[in-house]
A and B are shown apart, each in its own frame.
Chain A
Amino acid sequence: MKQHILPALRLTFVCAVVFAVAYTFLILAVAQAAPNKGNGQTVSVNNKVVGYALEGQSFTADKYFNGRPSAVGYNAAGSGGSNKGPSNPEYLQQVKNRLDMFLVHNPAIKKEQIPAELLTASGSGLDPDISYNAAMVQVIRIAATRKLREEKIGALVKEKVQQPLLHLFGTQKINVLQLNIALDEMK
């Protein structure tokens, strides 16, 4: 073993120099050419940063499209899921409460129209997206709160739909932050 200690120490040192330092700085250098220099892309309204493009934020007001429930309250400095098991009675009660709450805020909607993703917490607690159904089911409420025509808001939702990758792979989605910013800009 003795004869291996010195090579091990020296090799670890070279590895640290190459993989921890040189590699990190190489990627950091490339990052200077990436969106917002690798500091994370932000979204601004009137030159004020209102969010990070990739991360969801809390929308609870009736006049906005609400995002998915978050186990950590959209804490972007402490991501987390609920980690509730599918059969947990306490969890199922929580989903039921969310359902009742949704029906109170959206009296025109029947429960079979409400997609489950609006009642279940995301994995990261920062899910930036909702599905098309989850947006459409909120249109009547938003139109009533904002005193706008439902067709106009429905059209906005359709415009903001992001198709699957190359229209072939993955899911269809809508970014809630983009949608709500566009909503605020609507006359």
Chain B
Amino acid sequence: MNTEIFGVIAMFLVTITLAIPLGKYIGKVYNGNKTLWDPIFNPLDKLFFKAGGINPANNMTWQQNLVALLTINIVWFLLSMFVLMSQSWLPLNPDGNSSMTADLAFNTTISFITNTNLQHYSGESGLSYFGQITLMLWQFISAAAGMAICATVFKAMKPVLHSAKEKAAEVGNFYCLFVKSCTRILLPLCVVVAVLLLLNGTPMTFKGKDQFISVQGDTVNVSRGPAAAMIAIKQLGTNGGGFFGVNSAHPLENPNYFTNTIENVCIILIPIAMIFALGFMLKRKRFAWMILGIMTLGFLLLVIPSIYYEMHGNTAIAKMGVLQNLGSMEGKEVRFGPAASAYWGITSTVTSNGSVNAMHDSFTPLTGMFAMLGMMVNAFYGGVGVGFLNFYIFMIIAVFISGLMVGRTPEFLGKKIEAKEMKIAAIIALLHPFLILVGTAISSHLYAHNPQTYAGWLNNPSSHGYSEMLYEFTSSSANNGSGFAGLGNNTPFWNIACGIVMLLARYLPIIGPVAIAGILAKKKYIPESAGTLKTDNSTFAIMIFAVIFIIAALSFFPALALGPIAEYFGMK
């Protein structure tokens, strides 16, 4: 059989195999159980708590946790704006790159503190090494913030029989969970991955550009930098912001098929492990496998046709009569091939990672659509922490609809779902389509009425050009960060519009589920009875899948029909 297909199957199996023990470990970390690594990490954590002035034993309410999250994010925002707008005179700038404009710094800052990593600049020329390392810091801590908040929801979901009031205080301490996510989960994994990348030739240096004369006699400048450290956290934290302009398509950022496998495994490793962590913490393994099953089904429905279409090639090029045995190769690298490129494209868009090893703009039309659908659903695995929160919203809606169908008060894990929770869930579920569709509508309106003024926006004509705008807003709202990179997006309109979308799409979907979980935790626990809706069987799984399908398909189908679907049929 085809070695390219073997490659992607191996990547998926390795991911699941690693995610099971990792998930158990994450569960132990959040539970505060003993682990093998305590002798190393206990002192490190103590340093954090002492220097940070935090009492980790101090339980906070869900409101306090949210305020803590927002406050620390404001601190990061201000710091980041300062660094990006002053990097030209700050140290570690051997290539003499200039500071960012205010709108670009705004976009980049929000992009990195919201774990999106949408990049309207190119790493080689847009950032100093100081800027790169600052962004790397946000990659660590924005990922950890998402994981910590997710952990508070896990804790709130734990059933406690004795006293609901006591329970309300047991959602954990945001700072404590945040620090542990950083030190005990992200840091050790990053060190391992960075070392593996180093050994395969990824640079890690503070020297500036190098110059040489090529075999044919051209003078070539080569960008380098402290890349290995950043690439590790970029993949593990579902950040996705590359060191170099073309992200993991760059030979230094992703040197060979082995590194490609490592990086691709890292993209979905923690999102999947978080599901196992949930099963471990709630002691509901079946429930966790049910969630993983739904997510995997959705993932496979997106990834299999994508691989098929990329390996099948571009029909317009096939008509020219050339040999297209590898598949569609525009925007792809020979060392990865179309199968691994399509697999990466989908793993990176279903999780909110957004790194790329091939140019998504040049994918065949339907692969581009599947990538967008991955972001529109944004809950098949999803970003570290926040992916589960999105899925949580879909679960609440599914429970509610199921309850209505059988005529009982809907219950979820022993708690009644009532009007207040449903209102929050509905608003959050509708926010995502709202941001994407309104954003695309405004930009399309501007472009359609002033094609001369905005001629620089689109790199492709007709429906594909429209897809570029749709993709950009989808990626921003999904906090994904990949792009149809042909879009000329470093303009005040795109910088500010995408910045605002990323901001709303990050914090509201965190606040919503945390609030629901916090409210539910305070409610009285109702022991399971014969009439209780089972949440870990296939019937409920189908319900959730139907809810996801209806929300994504109904809200986005018209938009997709104008873009990738129109392009697909136009090429027939």
Contacts and interface: CB of A to CB of B under 8 A. Distances in A.
Given A31-B198, A79-B250, A51 B212 contact: yes
A52 B221 CA distance: 10
B571 A38 contact: no
Given A20-B133, A114-B323, A129-B333, A83 B486 contact: yes
Contacts of B183: 18
A165 interface: yes
Contacts of A58: 214, 216, 218
B72 A8 contact: yes
B63 to A, nearest CB: 11
A153 interface: no
Contacts of B358: 123
Contact of A77 (B209, B214, B340): B209
A47 interface: no
B4 interface: yes
Contacts of B47: 14
B255 A54 contact: yes
A119 B323 CA distance: 10
A131 to B, nearest CB: 6
A130 to B, nearest CB: 6
Interface string B362-373: 111100000000
Contacts of A86: 314, 316, 328, 330, 362-365, 464, 567, 571
A186 interface: no
A123 B364 contact: no
Identify the interface centre among A53, A85, A90: most chain B CB within 10 Å of its CB.
Answer: A85
Interface in A39-88: 39-42, 45, 48-61, 64, 68, 74-88
A40 B72 contact: no
A17 to B, nearest CB: 8
Interface in B216-254: 216, 218, 220-224, 226, 228-229, 244-246, 249-252
B214 A85 contact: no
B330 A52 contact: no
Interface in A75-132: 75-92, 95-96, 99, 111-117, 119-131
B57 interface: no
Contacts of A14: 47-48, 51-52
A68 B53 contact: no
Contact of A50 (B210, B213, B258, B363): B213
A108 B53 CA distance: 76
B175 interface: yes
A124 B255 CA distance: 12
Contact of B4 (A34, A48, A126, A170): A170
A117 B246 contact: no
A122 B334 contact: yes
A120 to B, nearest CB: 4
A57 B216 contact: yes
Interface stretch (B32-40, B156-164, B200-208, B539-547): B200-208
A177 interface: yes
B194 interface: yes
Given A8-B68, A80-B245, A169 B464 contact: no
Contact of A165 (B190, B222, B257, B465): B257
B303 interface: no
A111 B321 contact: yes
A144 interface: no
A91 B335 CA distance: 23
B448 interface: no
B494 to A, nearest CB: 15
Nearest to A117: B329
A148 interface: no
B433 interface: no
A184 interface: yes
A127 B329 CA distance: 11
Given A85-B464, A122-B332, A127-B334, A79 B124 contact: yes
Interface residues of B, number: 123
B331 A82 contact: yes
B229 A27 contact: yes
Given A83-B362, A86-B328, A123 B335 contact: no
A155 interface: no
A169 B3 contact: yes
A53 to B, nearest CB: 7
Contact of B322 (A40, A87, A115): A115
A151 B191 CA distance: 48
A52 B226 contact: no
Contact of A114 (B214, B229, B322, B326): B322
B507 to A, nearest CB: 14
Interface stretch (B136-144, B270-278, B281-289): B136-144
B2 to A, nearest CB: 10
Contact of A38 (B205, B221, B340): B205
Contacts of A167: 3
Nearest to B463: A87
A19 B136 contact: yes
Contacts of A16: 137
Nearest to B364: A86
Contacts of A39: 203, 205, 207, 210, 224
B252 A54 contact: yes
Identify the interface centre among A6, A37, A170, A177: most chain B CB within 10 Å of its CB.
Answer: A170
B460 A84 contact: yes
A142 to B, nearest CB: 14
11 contacts: A7-B68, A11-B48, A11-B72, A27-B226, A31-B204, A58-B214, A79-B246, A84-B362, A124-B251, A133-B323, A181-B215
Interface of A: 1, 4-16, 18-20, 23-24, 26-28, 30-31, 34-35, 37-42, 45, 48-61, 64, 68, 74-92, 95-96, 99, 111-117, 119-131, 133, 164-165, 167-173, 177, 180-181, 184
Interface of B: 3-4, 6-7, 10, 44, 47-48, 51-54, 67-68, 70-72, 74-76, 79, 122, 124-125, 133-134, 136-137, 140-141, 175, 178-179, 182-183, 187, 190-191, 194-195, 198-199, 201, 203-207, 209-210, 212-216, 218, 220-224, 226, 228-229, 244-246, 249-252, 255-258, 260-261, 313-314, 316-317, 320-326, 328-337, 340-341, 356-359, 361-365, 459-465, 467, 484-486, 567, 570-571
Q: Which 5 A-B pairs have the closest CB atoms?
A: A83-B486, A85-B464, A123-B249, A170-B257, A169-B7
Given A115-B324, A124-B251, 20 more contacts: A8-B72, A14-B47, A15-B137, A18-B48, A27-B226, A38-B203, A52-B222, A57-B215, A80-B245, A82-B362, A86-B365, A87-B464, A88-B464, A114-B323, A123-B358, A123-B359, A124-B333, A164-B3, A165-B256, A165-B257
